[in-house]
Structure 1
Amino acid sequence: MKPSTEKRLFQYAKSNIKIAVFSLTCLIIGVGLELIGPFIAKSIIDDHIVGVQAEWVELAQDQDGAVKFNETYFKRADRVTSDDQVVGYHTLVQSNRSYYFIDGQVPINSHILIEDDQDWVAEFNGETFDIEGERLSTAELYQFFKPELKPIAILLAISIGLILISSVFAYFKTYLLLVYANRIIVNIRRDAFAKVQQLPMKYFVDRPAGKILARITNDTEGIKELYVNVLATAVNSVVFMSGILIALFILNVKLALICLLTIPALYLWIKFYSKYAGKFNRVIRSVNSAINASINESIQTMPIIQAFRRTKERQEEFEELNHRHYRYQQKLVRLEAYTTFNLVGLLRGFALLGFIWFFGNGALTSEGLITTGVLYAFADYLGRLFEPMEMLINQLPQLEQARVSASRVFELLDEESEVVDHQEIPRINGRIEFDHVHFAYEEDDYILKDLSFKVEPGETVAFVGHTGSGKSSIMNLLLRFYDQQKGTITIDQYDHKQLSRQQVRQHINIVLQDPFIFTGTVLSNITLNDPRITREKAIEALKTVGADEFIEKLPLKYDNPVGENGADFSTGQRQLLSFARALAFDPAILILDEATASIDTETEGLIQNAINILSEGRTMLIIAHRLSTIQHADQIIVMKKGRMIEKGTHDELLELNGNYYQMYKMQQAGIIEQTV
């Protein structure tokens, strides 16, 4: 049973666990420092601003921290020490907008009623009692606040310092998370591309190049967003919310429990969203791959599309895919509108109702139950609680897209691959034998049927026959792009299947009818950046096949840049480059797959000369289109419907007066049969 997508993403995440741990540590420290702010604000409010509304003791003499008022020294009762000589008690009370300094001890939350200058009454919880005291002016009140200015300044400085330190940790957290995410994506892309190079040829035949490209580029980019944005936001939000909830429990357990009810609601909402968003995203990613494949194919075949006036039909095919992509994007947008953007507002509303209900039931009516500082801190934390929650909810679309992208990449990685073994084997002599070989691309629909032949080292053997006769399939088997279902293939003393595909291809090279030229320079197309092929060896190979005639005319000669697929070169010139490439790698067996089929007669002479040079000292297998180019072959094998029907030299086959003779006469007469 294969592990889930989430487990596999976690496995990749563990590859750079040290960076992740360090980043998480920075995050926790940063969040912790940031969340200290409301506690500092609570202390400033309760202990130093509202805190002056408290009991004050009258001292016999001046003491450290005492306040001088009416030539008498006073000190807050909660700051009195055993060394202080207490004379009497007073209470500083705020009632409406005025402050009063009352003789004796009265409840701090009392309401002062002044009937006249002589009769003062304090009211608290419906009870009244007579008091004496005086109303404080602003200047007089400032005397009681003056000792608090220094600790307030210190606390504010600490708060600013914590914010600055927190920002430093936030920077390192963000930087390290991005580094961490990018390293993970590098590993996933590397594995995906490495997997593509290990896949059997059938995988590429069954799938358009654009769809494979989309998995390595678009889908891995989608996973990148998971680690760069979603992971960073999720971790930050979870840590932040956890810190806030801890702070809320420290402030007030009942209020914190009300806020805690939002977590199950958040979890259920995420599960609901994931269920439907995953379905839509899978279709969207699949259609997106089809769009890439369509665009890729259209660009490559644009001359054919325009020549046959099929642009309108091609546009309609694209529009159908594009509209399907649009429909499912609309479904996803509606789902996001129903879920993500309404959830946080809904939870915030419930939390606010619970907050109001709590205080509406008398939380502030009993002295000492909850202070102004606690109220401020709790309101601050409550506001902060929904910020990371909103960020987390808004990342849900990206999360689901990333999960679908990851599942598509892992589908690619789970494809059955070929065994990779680059271990060197001694250079082969070039002897090839097919012994009763049967081969089918699909089930039992055999393309090659009971095929047997031998090729001795150094021989040149040509294969001719109509389209579908099995010529290219022989080369596909020899290069192990596919494996036969029955029979054996041997190269020298090696059983073909006992060698890895890389070992089989170490001493075999191929020149195709339409050779591929890589973006780079002329020389890089010969060496393929293989350190074993020196610059001198590559130039010598180019000169040997006659390619130097046109290369020397280029502005930078052998270092001249080459565009995509050598578009600046003619077919013959590209073919000469491919021959030079084969010569530079010096294979023991060289396969020419209709290498002269698409070139003019003048260039054919150069190509034929290159073939003669390449054939020296190595086994040559040629799939022939022009029979005039294979008359020198040691063997010519005529194929028909997957079977060998004739074999011999050119002269021997003409004497048979069979299929080969008929094909040759038709070409001699100028009737070039396109299916040969």
Structure 2
Amino acid sequence: MEQATTATKTGNIFDWQVLSRLVGYVKPYRGTFYFLIFLTVATAVLGTIRPFLIQRMVDVSIEQGDMIGLNKMFVLLMVLLVANTIVSYLQTYYGGWLGQYIVRDIRVNLYQHILNLRLKFFDRTPIGVLVTRNISDVETLSDVFSEGLAAMIGDILQLVFIMAFMFYIDWRLTLVSLSVIPPLIFSTYVFKEKVKTSFQEVRTAVASLNAFVQEHLTGMNVVQIFNNEEREYSKFKVINQEHTRANIRSVLYYSVYYPVAEVLGAIGIGLLVWYAAQGQIEGTISKGALIAFIMYNGLFFRPIRQIADRFNTLQLGLVSTERLLRLLDSKELIADNGTYAPADIRGDVKFDHVWFAYNDEEYVLKDISFEANTGQTVAFVGATGAGKTSIINLLSRFYEINKGTITVDGHDLRDYDLKELRRHIGIVLQDVFLFAGTIADNITLGSKDITEAQIWEAAELVGAKRFIERLPGGLQYQVMERGATLSVGQRQLISFVRAMVYQPRIIILDEATSSVDSETEELIQEAIEKLMEGRTSLVIAHRLSTIQKADRIIVLDRGEIKESATHDELLRLGGFYAQLYQMQYKDVLSTPME
């Protein structure tokens, strides 16, 4: 599971490695980015030249009574104001445009990466955390480009231009104005460090909150069945309270910093007026200079306060970026280096001394060897945790084996192109997952190659056609999230149609009839027999009635093969399988064992 806390790797103001990788996403939009930088520079220039022009108006045009010059300066000011308005509009628009397109690219890249992660990664990572990464953390990056990076550059340039104009007009007034900068810089640094920590706490709290809500909404039926509402509510309040505390801490730092900055700014103006008034009396400082410096003083402190804000926006974006990059850098990808992609396969499956562990050396499969050839049915039985489901997970390469080899038609699984391999394997699981959408969408999973006629053919084969026709809209009936509006048996039938419509060469049934009633099971058994014709079939079942006709039944116990034979041969052995058979049929068993 992901670590609860996140800090920059270097401990510096910025993690430049993270920042450089984030800026790398700008490459497809370099033209827009450079144009945005130009607009930022233009805004900085246009925003700082007005006080200088006003100083010239007062000291030159007004003092000398030059009405023509005054009118010219007034027109120039109006032109600059209009130009500043247009440039500000373009800067805001293109900053937001760039941020949204980069967010789009990162989110698509991240989701594509998640799709290719091994199931082992999802076994230990809460879904809510991944949702936070793909939604909230990615959305944060939009502000980095629209309000963070470019805007911070603009603020710094504005400060440079302001100081240049101030020194040009009067260096003495400039030094007086800058006298309050050291304490302002110190308070900004302290504020930045505190807010940086609080932002990290907020992102961690958001991830925990999302993970808790997603998990408990998904398992709401369990919560209500066991009357656990109050306890879960109490847990939620604790997590939510931590989220609130983290946000309040950041609010506290803002509430302290901004009044301090305002007070220091007011002190700066007070010192400026006091010193300039003396100079005015003595005739060493002009009226225009005083007016210009009062305006520059206000302009000077605003970007300083904004820089702190921009910095924290950028810092928050870097915290989110680091989380995203850690996910993108995850090496737990399904290795897909195979190039073997046959148009069709026979379906001969062979496990040769296969060892597998989910965690290090805790093997759940130990030295497993068996063969299942075309047209054969191999069934697996055993207690929960014996390793039955692990076998089908390995065949589909959801996990990688530790030792041994698995081949299909004599070719190592790792030699196959992964998509082509899975195209030839059809799986029907006990726990059926249906997406929100139509019945047809849940069967085809969006494939355009499957026609409606093929869907109805497969539905009729498994006995699902009748119930689908009764639904409002038939194949266009809208399935709610996780198939909540359908019965367990109906969901199971749809999963059979889904498997059959792709015409796989290898069929895997993982306790596929355990959730249906006897009548539906009879329909499915008939369909299974038709589906298995000419195909390799691997069946996991607790109901031994469904596997009695299997060509081979393999009995697993604690990851090892204990028995392997036909139904009748296993009964004659009188071992584990025979005991299990007698337990299931002790009340109805009427034919003595041979």
TM-score by length of 1: 0.79
Distance of aligned partners of 1:300 and 1:631 in 2 relative to their CA distance in 1, 3 Å threshold? same
What SS is found at the alignment partner of 1:241?
helix
Contact 2:425/2:507 (CA < 8 Å) preserved in 1?
yes
Correspondence for 2:3: none
Return the alpha-carbon distance in structure 2 between the equivalents of residues 301 and 536 of structure 1. 37
The Cα shift of 1:407 comes to: 1.9
SS at match of 1:599: coil
Distance 2:533 2:406 in 1: 24
How many Å separate the matches in 2 of 1:578 and 1:439? 28
Q: Which residue of 1 aligns with 2:83?
A: 165
Superposed displacement of residue 532, structure 1 = 2.5
How does 1:13-24 map onto structure 2 within 5 Å? 13-24=26-37
- Say which of 198, 212, 216 aligns to 1:294: 212
Q: Which amino acid aligns with 1:525?
A: N
Q: Give, in angstroms, the shift of residue 520 of structure 1.
A: 1.5
Distance 2:271 2:224 in 1: 68
Which one of 131, 150, 155 corresponds to residue 213 of structure 1? 131
Partner letter of residue 372 of structure 2?
A: V
Q: CA 1:614–1:637 in structure 2 vs 1: closer, same or farther (change >3 Å)?
A: same
Preserved CA contact (<8 Å) 2:347 2:373: yes
Structure 1 letter corresponding to 2:202: I
Among candidates 119, 139, 142, match of residue 201 of structure 1: 119
Q: Could you tell me how far 1:224 is from its partner in structure 2?
A: 2.5
For structure 1, list consecutive stretches of 5 or more residues without a partner in the other structure: 53-147
Q: Which residue of 1 aligns with 2:6?
A: none
Task: Pick one of 545, 562, 565 that aligns with 1:645.
Answer: 562
C-alpha deviation, 1:211, in angstroms: 1.6
* Segment drifting more, 412-421 vs 200-209: 412-421
Q: Which amino acid aligns with 1:480?
A: R
1:419 and 2:335 matched: yes
Judging changes above 3 Å, is the alpha-carbon distance between structure 1 residues 217 and 371 closer, same or farther for their aligned structure 2 residues? same
Q: 2:388 maps to which residue?
A: 471
> Taking structure 1 as reference, are residues 350 and 510 closer, same or farther at Cα in structure 2, changes over 3 Å only?
same
Q: How many angstroms apart in 2 are the aligned matches of 1:247 and 1:164? A: 21
**SS of equivalent to 2:63:** helix
Evaluate the alpha carbon distance shift between residue 540 and residue 264 of structure 1 in structure 2; reply closer, same or farther with a 3 A threshold: farther
Alignment partner, residue 667 of structure 1: 584
Residues 351/496 of structure 1: CA separation in 2 closer, same or farther (3 Å cut): same
Aligned match of 2:503: 586
Percent identity over the alignment is 35
Deviation of the 1:178 alpha carbon = 0.5
1:36 Cα offset (Å): 3.0
Distance in 2 (alpha carbons) for counterparts of 1:354 and 1:15: 50
Q: Within the alignment, does 1:438 sit opposite 2:355 as a pair?
A: yes
The 5 A counterparts of 1:566-581 are 566-581=483-498
Q: Deviations over 1:517-546 (max 9, x none)?
A: 111211111221123323333333223322
- Asked if the contact 2:340/2:417 (under 8 Å) is kept, the reply is no
Counterpart residue number, 1:119 = none
Map of 1:377 onto structure 2: 292
Query: Which protein, 1 or 2, shows the higher relative CO under an 8 Å CA cutoff with sep ≥ 6?
Result: 2
Between Structure 1 and Structure 2, the one with more strand by share is 1
Q: 2:64 maps to what in 1?
A: 51
Aligned residue among 148, 154, 159 for 1:230: 148
Does 1:532 pair with 2:484?
Answer: no
Q: Which residue of 1 aligns with 2:12?
A: none
The aligned amino acid for 1:37 is R
Identify which range, 235-244 or 210-219, moves more after superposition: 235-244
1:407 equivalenced with 2:322 (yes/no): yes
Q: Provide closer, same or farther for how the CA distance between residues 274 and 477 of structure 1 changes in structure 2, counting only shifts above 3 A.
A: farther
For residues 153-201 of structure 1, the C-alpha deviation after alignment (integer angstroms, 9 at most, x for no partner) is 3332332222112211111111111010011111221121112112121
1:472 to 1:244, Cα distance in 2 relative to 1, 3 A: same
Distance 1:213 1:582 in 2: 29
Change (3 A) 1:227 1:205: same
CA distance in 1, matches of 2:173, 2:234: 60
Superposition pairs of residues 217-616 of structure 1, within 5 angstroms: 217-231=135-149, 233-259=151-177, 268-338=186-256, 340-352=257-269, 354-356=271-273, 358-359=275-276, 363-364=279-280, 367=283, 369-416=284-331, 417-420=333-336, 425-426=341-342, 427-499=344-416, 501-616=418-533
Indicate the residue corresponding to 2:573 in structure 1.
Answer: 656
Q: Is the 8 A contact 1:519 1:565 kept in 2?
A: yes
Number of corresponding residues: 574
CA distance in 1, matches of 2:78, 2:588: 92
Shift in CA distance, 19/671, structure 1 to aligned 2, threshold 3 Å: farther
CA distance in 1, matches of 2:462, 2:166: 82
Aligned letter for 1:214? Answer: T
5+ residue gaps, structure 2:
1-8, 10-14, 590-594
Aligned partners of 1:341 and 1:394 also within 8 Å = no
Structure 2: how far apart are the matches of 1:409 and 1:271? 27
SS in 2 for 1:51: coil
The CA deviation at 1:15 is 4.1
Question: Which protein is bigger by CA-based radius of gyration?
Answer: 1
Q: Which moved more, 1:534-543 or 1:554-563?
A: 534-543
Deviation readout 1:37-75 (Å, 9 max, x if unpaired): 2233223222222223xxxxxxxxxxxxxxxxxxxxxxx
Q: TM-score, normalised by structure 2?
A: 0.90
